[in-house]
Amino acid sequence: MSKKILVIGASGQIGTELVEGLRDRFGAEDVVASDIKEPQVRQSGPFALVNAMDRRGIERVIDKHGISEVYLLAALLSATAEKDPAFAWKLNMESILIILELAREGKLRKVYWPSSIAVFGPTTPKDKTPQHTTTEPSTVYGISKLAGEGWCKYYHQRYGVDVRSIRYPGLIGWKSAPGGGTTDYAVHIFHEAIKKGAYTSFLGPESTLPMMYMPDAIRATIDLMEAPVEQVKERGSYNLAGLSFSPEQIAAEVARHIPGFKMAYAPDERQAYADSWPRSIDDSAARADWGWKPQYDLTAMVDDMMAHLRTKLKAS
Ligand code: SER
């Protein structure tokens, strides 16, 4: 049976790059991008404007294109969600429940939904955080991701829905802009370093968080979705680790490329969200079940980011 993919939230930080990755792998015409806003980049394949909370609208896109798999990425992230908790809960929950229902009704064969390190909270062990551990999130974003994981597991166990998920760490890429996360500083730093030679971090110097370079995250996502069904044993969401670093560590790496680079620190409300999250993640379940292995360490990531972003910013 042929595979037709719909990406909801395709104009965001992950969506922009995931659509590209999926189109490279499965062909531009077989990957439909959708969002409530226009894409950040020129599309090489179909695009539909649709709201992730509009079940009818999503069904129309599914029917029109004969969609068999959905990647649902639309969400409010940690910092934005705290500004409007009620709306964050509504968007983050309604969207996943619509897709799980469509899958239960047999309209979809497979679903991807991202969770986050934000499911963890102050009572979670901070280093090498295990796959199964205390999850008492303190942000509304984390609460919604934890509830979503519960729903995914429930729909899998009760209705046999093939839904797969990863708890992403902070994601860093040069192709798309991040939107509203606590880990966004690790993207902003590159833009400001190249443009101004200086950056003021909204997290303090020692805030170590789990992070990942986007090419690793995209590869992990597609690999998990392509893994044989019997290899996918976690039906809540998989822990995934790439690298862990603090603002002062990434600043030192950036300074290798930008001599005289100046880093300052002005922690804001996002510091509290960061403080509630782990420093590093144990991803042995993902490694054992479907062969996950990251490729980029901090130096390799910074070198690659710098090279691509310099070219991109020069061209713009
Ligand atoms: N990057 C996300 C955030 O900072 C964490 O999942 O909100």
262 shares a domain with 189:
yes
Q: Which residue, judged by its Cα, is nearest atom 2 of ligand 1? A: 181
Measured between alpha carbons, how far is 208 from 210 in angstroms, rounded to an integer? 7
158 shares a domain with 282:
no
Q: How far is the CA of 13 from the centre of ligand 1 (A)?
A: 11
Q: Is the CB of 183 under 6 A from ligand 1?
A: yes
Is 234 domain-assigned? Answer: no
Is 183 domain-assigned? Answer: yes
pLDDT at 1: 64
Q: Is the CB of 170 under 6 A from ligand 1?
A: yes
Give, for all 316 residues of the chain, the pLDDT tens digit: 689 999 999 999 999 999 999 999 999 999 999 999 888 788 899 999 999 999 999 999 999 999 999 999 999 999 999 999 999 999 999 999 999 999 999 999 999 999 999 999 999 999 999 999 999 999 999 999 999 999 999 999 999 999 999 999 999 999 999 989 999 999 999 999 999 999 999 999 999 999 999 999 999 999 999 999 999 999 999 999 999 999 999 999 999 999 999 999 999 999 999 999 999 999 999 999 999 999 999 999 999 999 999 999 998 7
54 shares a domain with 113:
yes
Q: Which residue, judged by its Cα, is nearest atom 3 of ligand 1? A: 181
Q: Which of 71, 112, 141, 273 is catalytic?
A: 141
114 shares a domain with 9:
yes
Give the pTM.
0.97
pLDDT at 173: 97
141 an active-site residue? yes
Is residue 3 classed exposed, middle or buried when 0-12, 13-18 and 19+ CB atoms within 10 A define those classes? middle
Q: Is the CB of 182 under 6 A from ligand 1?
A: yes
Place of tokens 């995931």: 18
Q: Is the CB of 207 under 6 A from ligand 1?
A: no
Domain holding 103, by residue range, is: 5-169
- The residue among 169, 199, 220 that closes a domain is 169
Measured between alpha carbons, how far is 248 from 281 in angstroms, rounded to an integer? 20
State the CB neighbour count (10 A cutoff) for residue 160. 9
State the CB neighbour count (10 A cutoff) for residue 27. 13
